[in-house]
Structure 1
Amino acid sequence: MKTLQINTTQNVKINFEMANVGQRLLAFIIDNVVKFAYIYLIIELFNFSLIKDATDGDYWSVKAIDILMFLPLTFYSLYQEILMNGQTLGKRILKLRVINIEGFKPSIGDYIIRWFMRMVDFNLFILLFVYFYSMGYVNSYFGLIYMIFIIGKSIGFFMIVFTSKNQRVGDISANTVVVYLKDNASFAKTILENIKEDYKPVYANVIKLSDNDARIIKDTYTRAKNKKDYNTLIKLRSKIEEVTGIKKPKETPDIDFIATILKDFNYYTKD
């Protein structure tokens, strides 16, 4: 079992269990079942001959509609990881999540890099394969062509197996890892927060905080809360007000105010 050790700002060491190749493969299969279900529904629900008639058989119009209908499949992992805080449906079922290797929440740019590098992890040589296939070389070079196809599809798999942190090329490029969330206590020690899908944020100005700010706030808040150190909570609340410009309502306890700040930060940065 491979683990990732993260040091918090309070020098607390947190160990995460890395998602192994079997878990990631199963999550990948679940996500592909969802994709195939989508394709099946599109084919069953839409009358493509009717669309062709409506566009007077214009080739480019038909192709444009085809692309629009199947566009969600192309960006499936990208928008799911952004909207679901580092998870796709398959990852959520298997309790896996993408996190930054330093313990921070990945940025949208990190998710885009992971998604874009899938072309290396799972589709390397695909253009070469298509070229050979289109040129009619399949019969003459059948073994070579399909070996190219299999190698191109397997790079991500072998990278996860043989790298020290179970990273594919997309993970290495984006400085991310995929972890198994069996230890919710450790997960709670990072800046990441599990918030409900219907959560309503209160303070929009939390976006003035950086990831490192949020990490310091959470570490300090958790320690002060556990020790009932109300003086530290007061100082922490004052610092938050100073940095963000947010003023705590008089009727709201400091501990609840800071908890809301952390939840709001995660809400805004996950989108």
Structure 2
Amino acid sequence: MSELSINTTQNVNINFTAATIGQRILAFGTDLLIMIAYMIIIVMFINYSGLGDAMGKMDPWSGAAIMIVLFIPITFYSIFFESLFEGQTLGKRLLKIKVVKIDGYQASFGDYFIRWLFRLVDIVFSLGTVGFISIVVSEKSQRLGDMAAGTAIISLKSDISINSTILEDINDGYVPIYPLVIKLSDNDVRIIKDNFQRAQKHYDHEIIRKLTHKIEAVTGIKNQSGNDADFIKTVLKDYNFYTQNM
């Protein structure tokens, strides 16, 4: 499975796992079954409601217009549900995959529309061949519609949490202590957090002490807490505070 690095609006890279070709096919198959079920219901309605007889007495244009209206939900199925569920059709929700923008922004209706429009090439006219090949060969597992819209499909089953990023959970009333943390870069903070979490997991106090000294040397900050672990936690929170409010 390929990894997707998405840069958020806060200039933070978060890694996700791209949905596999199998997940995408199963999601598409599920959506297809739902659409087939809808068509069967419509056909039964036409046959048993008397609408079929009424349409038989209409001119061809009127009958065609009624059929178009009845089957509009099939035509716009994907764009409707992706817009409604923010990147998921019913099949995608079941398989726990989702359409996202690769620049970190929330995908818009225009993005879903572009993906829907390219279905003609990716799926309909090529019977899925073009879409399959482009997903397999592209770096971010994108079909042509995704490439045009700047989107990708990720797996929500990925073991990704706030602890996997440089983000920290800070409340609205948080008061920072060390303004000089802005001398650090995103990569510096990522390295600090990764090593700090590993050191805590293995009770490696020596690594925590070395991280504290390194932070002090790079930023000019002096540990005011007297506790190295608390100092590093504060530095991480302060960095998030300042970078999110700049």
Query: Which category of TM-score, normalised to the shorter sequence, fits these structures?
Result: 0.5 to 0.7
Flag the 1:11–1:69 CA change in 2: closer, same or farther, 3 A.
closer
Unpaired segments ≥5 residues, structure 1: 125-150, 191-218, 233-271
Partners of 1:101 and 1:176 within 8 A in 2? yes
Partners of 2:9 and 2:104 within 8 A in 1? no
Q: Which moved more, 1:78-87 or 1:151-160?
A: 151-160
Alignment pair present for 1:24 and 2:16 = no
Name 1:35's counterpart in structure 2: 35
Alignment pair present for 1:154 and 2:155 = no
Q: How does 1:97-246 map to 2 (within 5 A)?
A: 97-124=98-125, 151-183=126-158, 185-186=160-161, 223-225=169-171, 229-230=174-175
C-alpha distance in structure 2 between counterparts of 1:187 and 1:154, whole Å: 37
Partners of 1:121 and 1:156 within 8 A in 2? yes
Q: Deviations over 1:174-218 (max 9, x none)?
A: 00000001247548999xxxxxxxxxxxxxxxxxxxxxxxxxxxx
Partners of 1:52 and 1:62 within 8 A in 2? no
C-alpha displacement of 1:104: 1.3
C-alpha displacement of 1:123: 2.5
C-alpha distance in structure 2 between counterparts of 1:188 and 1:48, whole Å: 57
Q: What amino acid is the match of 2:75?
A: T
C-alpha distance in structure 2 between counterparts of 1:4 and 1:224, whole Å: 26
Name 2:198's counterpart in structure 1: none
Flag the 1:92–1:58 CA change in 2: closer, same or farther, 3 A.
same
Q: What amino acid is the match of 1:169?
A: L
Query: Which structure has the greater CA radius of gyration?
Result: 2
Flag the 1:9–1:29 CA change in 2: closer, same or farther, 3 A.
closer
Alignment pair present for 1:64 and 2:39 = no
Partners of 1:181 and 1:187 within 8 A in 2? no
Flag the 1:10–1:39 CA change in 2: closer, same or farther, 3 A.
closer
Q: What amino acid is the match of 1:229?
A: Y
C-alpha distance in structure 2 between counterparts of 1:165 and 1:43, whole Å: 40
Q: Deviations over 1:85-139 (max 9, x none)?
A: 1000000001100000012111111110000011110123xxxxxxxxxxxxxxx
Partners of 2:99 and 2:107 within 8 A in 1? yes
SS for the counterpart of 2:58 is coil
What TM-score, normalized to structure 1? Answer: 0.58
C-alpha displacement of 1:229: 1.4
C-alpha distance in structure 2 between counterparts of 1:65 and 1:39, whole Å: 14
Q: Deviations over 1:198-254 (max 9, x none)?
A: xxxxxxxxxxxxxxxxxxxxx7xx54329x71579xxxxxxxxxxxxxxxxxxxxxx
Partners of 2:6 and 2:13 within 8 A in 1? yes
C-alpha distance in structure 2 between counterparts of 1:86 and 1:188, whole Å: 24
C-alpha displacement of 1:153: 3.3
Task: Identify which of structures 1 and 2 has the higher relative contact order when contacts are C-alpha pairs closer than 8 Å and 6+ apart.
Answer: 1
Percent sequence identity over matched residues? 45
Aligned length: 175
**RMSD value over aligned CA atoms?**
2.8
C-alpha displacement of 1:158: 1.0
Partners of 2:7 and 2:102 within 8 A in 1? no
